[in-house]
Structure formats: C-alpha cells, structure tokens
C-alpha cells in the first residue's frame, strides 16, 4: 500500500497540512488494490476543507473508487459536507466514494442533512474496501 501526503501543486495532489484551529488537518492518500484511501485527521471547516476537496478529487473520474477514512475527524461543518457531496458527484456514474469510521457527531450531521442514503458509511476502511 503506497502512502503520500497530500496537497495541491498546480492542480495535482501532493503534500499539505492546513491549520484547523490549534491542530493541523492532516490528509494522506494511499492506494489499496486500485482504491484510493484518503485518511483525514483533524477538524474539517471552511479553513481546511480545501485540502479535503483536493484529496478527494479523483484523478480520473471514470470508475474512480475512493474510501474516505474519517475516523480521525471529530467535527465537520457545512464546508466539509459540501466537499463530500462534490466528491460523490465527481465519482459518478462509474465509480464510488465510501466513508469509513465516521464518528458520531459527523454522522449525526450527515443524517440531519439527509446524506446517509447518498454516501455509504462503513465502520472501518477494511469494511468499506470490501463493500
């Protein structure tokens, strides 16, 4: 499984940490048998959502498959929700975006805005990879 830190360099994902209050938002991308796994740690808000948006953007939207590991995300505001919606749309129609390890506060927000039927949530990355 290859591992890369992520950010944007002329439209390409490369290496970044953006600040989320006192703790930096960490976003890493790895590959697991052709599925991109994006691991996110820290709060996702309007200051940090850009890093998540770039990391979840598929290089080739046709058939792209991505698992977003949100187990390290204690809080996500509407900016993060908008990123997830855009990423889901960017993966359609032949690919998919799955969420893994979504913590209760973030899950509750997804439930309130009605995204649970749209974004498949799994307890772990391994479960999401198995689908």
Helix (H/G/I), strand (E/B), else coil: 49:
helix
pLDDT score of 90 more than 50: yes
Give pLDDT tens digits for 39-83.
999 999 999 999 999 999 998 878 899 999 999 999 999 999 999
Instruction: Read off the tokens for 65.
Output: 């498959």
Residue 118's pLDDT is what? Answer: 92
pTM score, whole prediction: 0.81
Q: How confident is the model at residue 23 (pLDDT cuts 50, 70, 90)?
A: low
By DSSP bridging, strand 8-9 and strand 3-5 are: unpaired
């Amino acid at each position: 499984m290859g591992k890369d830190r992520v950010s944007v360099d002329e439209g390409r994902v490369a290496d970044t940490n953006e600040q989320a209050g006192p703790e930096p938002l960490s976003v890493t991308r790895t590959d697991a048998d052709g599925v991109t796994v994006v691991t996110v740690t820290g709060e996702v808000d309007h200051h940090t959502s850009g890093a998540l948006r770039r990391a979840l953007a598929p290089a080739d939207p046709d058939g792209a498959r991505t698992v977003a590991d949100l187990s390290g995300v204690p809080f996500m505001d509407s900016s993060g929700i908008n990123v997830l919606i855009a990423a889901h749309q960017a993966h359609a129609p032949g690919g998919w975006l799955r969420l893994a390890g979504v913590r209760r506060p973030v899950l509750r927000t997804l439930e309130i805005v009605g995204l649970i039927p749209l974004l498949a949530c799994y307890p772990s990355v391994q479960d999401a990879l198995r689908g």
